[in-house]
Structures are given as structure tokens and as C-alpha cells.
Structure 1
């Protein structure tokens, strides 16, 4: 009777704990592949599940490329010697007489300092009146002033000096060697030259992004593309604002990967294969190589191309799934480009939950034996 009671007690304990275990579930890193598929549009969910093949990888990998508009590219180089409103000039006028118009007796040279070009582009010179300076070079302005004075004093000689770029400056901000306002001079009339003048970039060149704002319009370019493509090395204009910043894009990795984290991009183009490698690859003890998901809110244009549904007007939730066990699986992962805000999720292999269940049940049986032994003792 005692052994029968012991067997029954153990059975009751194991059965009770098994039922309890089934009801509460086991710890895991996230939803299973089946649970994700159950939320598909086909099953009245809100997410499109799209297996990735060569066509899908190509269509889904289209992302806006950085670059300057035609308006920036076609702007010609500004001559560094052209005078602009706001420039400050200094004049020296020599007169070929002992008692001239401007110079005192015994002095034949007169200096006029800190002549600022007004908003309309003029300066005032005694006995010459208002003279247009803006749009002229120092040489053409010198000739214009000479012409106005030569009828009033014999053989006047004029020199014009300009504080280079006082009215043609750019602001350089962000991660550079030196931030500040810099004049557009002959050596610094292009974007790359001005960046060099500001001490270069102070972040990894692979992730350095350059943005130029001009009259309310902006354009951006990767630093490496600036040097690779001469068209991106645009001519500067007075008032331009140049911002240098590190790439701010990120993606999130979850599930059965080597690490679960929010990860910064370290290259302009990052593929799914590279992204998984950045977080330590797939967890060999947990990951299902058939369940690599890339989840994103896809733009209407790309969603239409991927899903084959014309006329989409709103962003669509799409879960792209990569099966790395397929012959082209790794190639497709290599060609699938990750975008800012993507979530990469790797599901656990089906056997993992069975393994956890068996492990817990084995522990439960051992506990039941201990309880039965205690009861029988």
C-alpha cells in the first residue's frame, strides 16, 4: 500500500506541475515565427509578411541617397576678389599737388579707412560721391574712383584694399577641427577646401555627413562621396551654413542574436548580413536560421513595388523574412540593405522550447520524487 501511494503521489505532483507549466509558459526572447506569421494581413493581422528573394531584396533596398540638388551643383565659383555688401574697404589716394583736395599741405597721400559697403552696394568717397562697389573687383573700383577724381585733382593715384570676405563668409558648425565664421577666399571657395580650412572633420570619415544650408534650402552628402564625386564639391556662397555631424541612423537587434541592442550605423550602406554580424551573429544554441525578420514601416512607393499593389497611399507595416538555409539565403541577406529605424529580430528554433520544457519537466520530476520521498518517509 505504501508503494502504491508513493507512485500515485508522484504522478499527481508531476501532472499538476506540468499543467501549471503549460498554463504560464516558458521564458523566451520574443514571439515565435509562428506567432509572427499569425499576425499577417492574410490572417486578419496588420503586418505584411514578405519572404525575401532577389527581386524583393532589390526593391526593398532602395533608400534616399544623399547629394546636392542641381541648384547647388550648377552654382559657379565666386571670384574671391569680388566686393559684396558688408565688405569693409580701405582707400589710399595720392594727389600730385602740394595742397590737394583731400590731403593737407605738405602731405600728398590720404587714407580712408573702414569704408563699409552699404546694403545697396555703395561707398562714399569725398569729392567722388557715392560709388558703386558691390559687384566690382578692387581693381575696377580703383579705376572708377580715379575717373571721378581726375577732373578735380591732377593725376590722382588710388589703391583699394579689402578685408577679404568680410561680406562673403560661411559658418562652419559641428564636428570639425574648428568651428566659426570663415571668409570665402581664393583658396577656400569650394566645400572641401573650406572643410580643410576649418581643420577637417573630427568624426570617423566613414560616417561623417556634411549638410549645407543656403537661403532656406539644404543639401547633404557623405564625406567620402564628396571626395569621390567632384560634382558634390560645390562652390560656396556668402551666408552658407556648413554642418558636420556623425551619422545618426540606428537599427535595433532583438531575439536569438549574439547581442540585443540598439546599434549605430558605421557605413553609409549596411546590409542585413553585416547588421547581424555587428551584433555577434546568430546565437548557435537558440537561433532559427529560417526566422530572420527585418521589420519596418515601408513607404507607399516601395511597399507597392514589393507587394505588387499599386495605389498605396499610406506607409505599410512589413516584416521581411530571410531563410538563411535556402541556397540563395545568405546572398539575399547580403543584398538586403538595412535602413534607419529597422528592427532585426531572430526567432528561436522550435526545438529550443521543447528543450526548455523537458528541462523544466525533468526538474519537476526530481522535485516530485523528493516530495514523494518526504511523504513516504
Structure 2
């Protein structure tokens, strides 16, 4: 029995030594957990390494703030009667005399067809001059023209008709069913109604963002907020530009994960646990669940709250550590928010390096077969 033990002792020791030596030089997907800790500020490095706890999750739970300004939300809905620049009007003027200013002997009415409201909001009416039409209803404009003509012809009667208009339109582009220019009409005076008119969105609602550009002002919201917050369903104005696009935030996944890539967000609020699941989860034979790291440049204000300091200047390099094997580890990973341009890095388990070393030594045979070979049996 002793001879058998002695017979196996040297090969096993040889394998152990070779494995340890080989593991020191074997390639890996990135730094080990100990190397990351060695580069911390606490060890004269250049990054703060912080273990995630409930306080850290609260301090770092920052998500993009989207919304419309009060100028957008307070705008009233346009009525169908409001005249705007670009509209085309039809006017008919009756005069209570046989030979009036505008009418002839054969008729006491004078039609003025296709009178366009200019870019400043005015129209020209003979003998009434330049009259402001924009912002008025047809009835208000009728009264104003009547008042101006009364000074020159007795008891004029004026009819104002709205024929068409290109001033009350908005453009809708991006990820919608039908891009184009659409008029603001009775059913499409609000943002949600206009998006429906454009065929709705053709991307996942969870990550759809809607931008409205009005002159020099711009507002952006999540598409789903249109239905959760009615005040964001703003009234439209002629010339508004509406853009629907996907959320462009991404994070980078590296290390011992199922995939290494730049990964787009699939939800508005992405947690570390969801990010791991989104890339296929950890690799059971290679990942170290005690070495899940999130790397980011943290604004000084947030970094100060995390570290309990008020002397930080500028963005700080932060490395947040998640240990999924702890009793509270999965809950912390569920609550820790991933942000745009974060790097999610998972270290390799020590066993993975040992397996690589054994595979290198064995040359494709199983460790037990090689032990047997080395033993000379």
C-alpha cells in the first residue's frame, strides 16, 4: 500500500507544481480579482474600489431625467378655427350699393379666392389694407375686415372661409410607421394623437424616446410616459418636429461572461442583475461570482456620497464590487443601477486557471489518464 502511495506521490506533486507554474503565465480574459484590488486608491492605485451595499445602491441610483419644460406643458390646444401663417382663405364681400368699391354694376358681391396668410400672419384686402389674420378665428377676422371697410362703403357684409393651410403642420420622423408631414387637425392636436396618425412606433415601447423640437426649444420623454403622465401629452404647434428613436445608452460586458460586447439597454432602468442576465449570465465553469465588478467614471457629487467625502474634484474612477455568493448579494445586484457607458467585468474563478493549467500539461488527456501515464503504469 505504501509503495502505491509513493508511486502516485511524485506525479501528483509534479502536476501540482506544473499547474501552479503554468497558471501564472496562462492567458486570461482580464485582470484577476486580486489585481483589481491591488490597483485601488487604498493601495496607492488610481481607482476607488467599493463593495456594494444598500447605502451604495441608493447613492448611485441615478437614471436619465427626461421631460418637457413648462413652456411645452402649458401650451393650449389649437382650435380648428385658429388661422395660422400659411393658411389659405376665401373671402366674399357684399356692398349695400349698386356701384361699390369692389363690386360692379352686375353684382353687389365680390369674391376674393385663395388669399394666403403670409409668414408674418397678415393678408391684404383691397380698401382695408394689410390685416392681421394669424391667431384670429374666421369670425374675428370677418369683424375686423368689416370694421375697416365700413369707413369707406355703407354696411358691408363679409364672409371668411378657411380653404386650406400648410402652416399648421408637424413633421414626424424616426421609428414610426409612416414618416412625413401631417396637418394639425381636430383629432391630432396632441403628441400621442399625432404619433398614432403617423402609424405608431415600430420599436419596443420600453426603450422608445420621443423628442419634440419647437423653434429653439427641445424636450424629450419616454414614450411610455405619455400614457402614465397625461400632462406630457402636450399640445402641438405648427412647425413642431417630432423624432422617435431608440434609447442609445449602452454598457460594455467583459471577462468571464457568456458574451463580451457593447450591449444596448433593453429597459429604462437596468440593474446589474438584469445586465448579467441580458448577456446570457455567468459561465458556471469559468466565472467567479464573488468577483463581479462595475467600472465607471462617477461625478464628484455621487462619488463623495459613496465615499463619505467632500474634498473630491471632478469625476472619479470607481470600481463597484458585487459578491453574488453573499446572502444579500443577489438583492444588491438587483438594486444596483447600471448607467450609460458602464463596464461590467466578471473575473475568472481560480478553478478556471487550474483547469487551463491541467489541460495544457495533459495535452488533451484527462488529468487521471496523465497521472497514470506519469506513474508509468
TM-score, length-scaled by structure 1: 0.86
Tell me if the contact between 1:50 and 1:320 (Cα under 8 Å) persists in the aligned partners.
Answer: yes
Tell me if the contact between 2:23 and 2:353 (Cα under 8 Å) persists in the aligned partners.
Answer: no
Residues 163 and 335 (structure 1 numbering): CA distance in 2 closer, same or farther, change over 3 Å? farther
Shift of 1:159: 1.9
**Distance in 2, Cα, partners of 1:164 & 1:246:** 35
Residues 313 and 183 (structure 1 numbering): CA distance in 2 closer, same or farther, change over 3 Å? farther
Q: In terms of mean alpha carbon deviation, does 88-97 or 301-310 score higher? A: 88-97
Secondary structure, counterpart of 2:192 in structure 1: helix
Matched with 1:295 is: 295
Shift of 1:163: 4.7
Residues 38-77 of structure 1: matches in 2 within 5 Å? Answer: 38-77=38-77
Tell me if the contact between 2:77 and 2:236 (Cα under 8 Å) persists in the aligned partners.
Answer: yes
Tell me if the contact between 1:175 and 1:201 (Cα under 8 Å) persists in the aligned partners.
Answer: yes
Q: For structure 2, list consecutive stretches of 5 or more residues without a partner in the other structure.
A: 1-9
Tell me if the contact between 2:23 and 2:356 (Cα under 8 Å) persists in the aligned partners.
Answer: no
Shift of 1:283: 0.6
**Distance in 2, Cα, partners of 1:37 & 1:264:** 28
Shift of 1:127: 1.8
Matched with 1:216 is: 216
Matched, 1:309 2:309: yes
Residues 271-290 of structure 1: matches in 2 within 5 Å? Answer: 271-290=271-290
**Distance in 1, Cα, partners of 2:118 & 2:362:** 90
**Distance in 1, Cα, partners of 2:271 & 2:137:** 52
Shift of 1:101: 2.8
Residues 48-197 of structure 1: matches in 2 within 5 Å? Answer: 48-163=48-163, 166-197=166-197
Shift of 1:96: 4.6
**Distance in 1, Cα, partners of 2:247 & 2:336:** 20
Shift of 1:175: 1.4
Tell me if the contact between 1:164 and 1:184 (Cα under 8 Å) persists in the aligned partners.
Answer: no
Equivalenced residue count is 362
Matched with 1:327 is: 327
Shift of 1:21: 5.9
**Distance in 2, Cα, partners of 1:133 & 1:93:** 16
Q: Deviations over 1:288-329 (max 9, x none)?
A: 111111111112221111121214331111111111111111
**Distance in 1, Cα, partners of 2:79 & 2:241:** 19
Tell me if the contact between 1:93 and 1:111 (Cα under 8 Å) persists in the aligned partners.
Answer: yes
Q: In terms of mean alpha carbon deviation, does 349-358 or 74-83 score higher? A: 74-83
Q: Deviations over 1:180-234 (max 9, x none)?
A: 2333333322211221222221222121100112232221101001111011111
Residues 164 and 224 (structure 1 numbering): CA distance in 2 closer, same or farther, change over 3 Å? farther
Residues 331-370 of structure 1: matches in 2 within 5 Å? Answer: 331-363=331-363
TM-score, length-scaled by structure 2: 0.86
**Distance in 2, Cα, partners of 1:312 & 1:78:** 51
Tell me if the contact between 1:164 and 1:183 (Cα under 8 Å) persists in the aligned partners.
Answer: no
Matched with 2:36 is: 36
**Distance in 2, Cα, partners of 1:38 & 1:269:** 32
Tell me if the contact between 1:249 and 1:265 (Cα under 8 Å) persists in the aligned partners.
Answer: yes
**Distance in 1, Cα, partners of 2:173 & 2:105:** 52
Shift of 1:118: 3.5
Q: Deviations over 1:76-122 (max 9, x none)?
A: 33334222344332212234555443233323432223323334432
RMSD: 3.0
Q: For structure 1, list consecutive stretches of 5 or more residues without a partner in the other structure.
A: 1-9
Shift of 1:35: 1.1
